[in-house]
Amino acid sequence: MRKLIYVMLLVVPVLVFAGVGIGSADDAADFEFILPSVVAVFLSDAAITWDFNDIGPTVNSNNPEFPPADVSDFPLYYEPSSPSARPYQTVDYLVMFAAADVDWNLTVVGDGDPNPACGITIDEIEYAANPPVSWTAFSTTVAEIASGTGVTGGWASLEQNYRVEIDGDEVNGGASSTCTITYTIQTL
């Protein structure tokens, strides 16, 4: 009888587990991607300087001598002393995840005259693509400098050159004058 009990203890578990079996099962997970349009703008240099103590033909070959030998040479155009090599600014911009029919634009605007009392006004500061072909005066009115539809396909770049018109009647007394130029990219 003992043998029968041992045999039953060995056979019964096999019969019980044999009904479960080993197989496969699956389930699914849904992945959802919510991708808003992304726009970004990055400037290579946040500080552009015209230091007329450093401007002259030996310092920056893009500039005439300052002050000129003959005042009848005015008005003259001067490019920045820092940075000292063209292009003075690289504007990197990006549009991602935009639908194929979404329009976007890149704009620039000045916040006002650097210091009206010194005699330099915002419209005497100009910008141009690199290489400079035609110059455009900055303004307090927004100006479009690039536009497109859909994505940019990664970062795109626009190189900017700057110059300021000096006509000889500026007064500053050694104080610095500043203005802010803002680049904006947006989807429309």
DSSP class of 132: P
Using CA atoms, how far apart are residues 125 and 132, in angstroms rounded to an integer? 14
Specify the pairing of strand 76-78 against strand 125-129.
unpaired
Q: What is the pLDDT of residues 108-160, one digit of tens each?
A: 999 998 877 788 899 999 999 998 889 999 999 999 999 999 999 999 999 99
Rounded to an integer, what distance in angstroms lies between the CA atom of residue 180 and that of residue 110? 6
70-86: b or e for each residue (b if 16 or more CB lie within 10 Å)? eeeeeebebbbbebbeb
CATH of domain 36-170+177-187: 2.60.40
Tell me the whole-structure pTM to 2 decimals.
Answer: 0.79
CA 113 to chain centre: 24
Residue whose tokens read 């002259």: 56
DSSP secondary-structure letter at 49? B
Hey, what's the torsion of the CAs at 108, 54, 133, 104, to 10 degrees?
-20
* Alpha-carbon torsion, ordered 10, 11, 12, 13, to 10 deg: 60
- pLDDT given for residue 84 in this prediction: 84
Q: So what's the pLDDT on residue 146?
A: 96
Structure tokens at 111: 């916040």
Provide the 10 A C-beta neighbour count for residue 33: 5
DSSP bridge partners of 187: 104
- What is the pLDDT confidence band of residue 93, given thresholds at 50, 70 and 90? very high
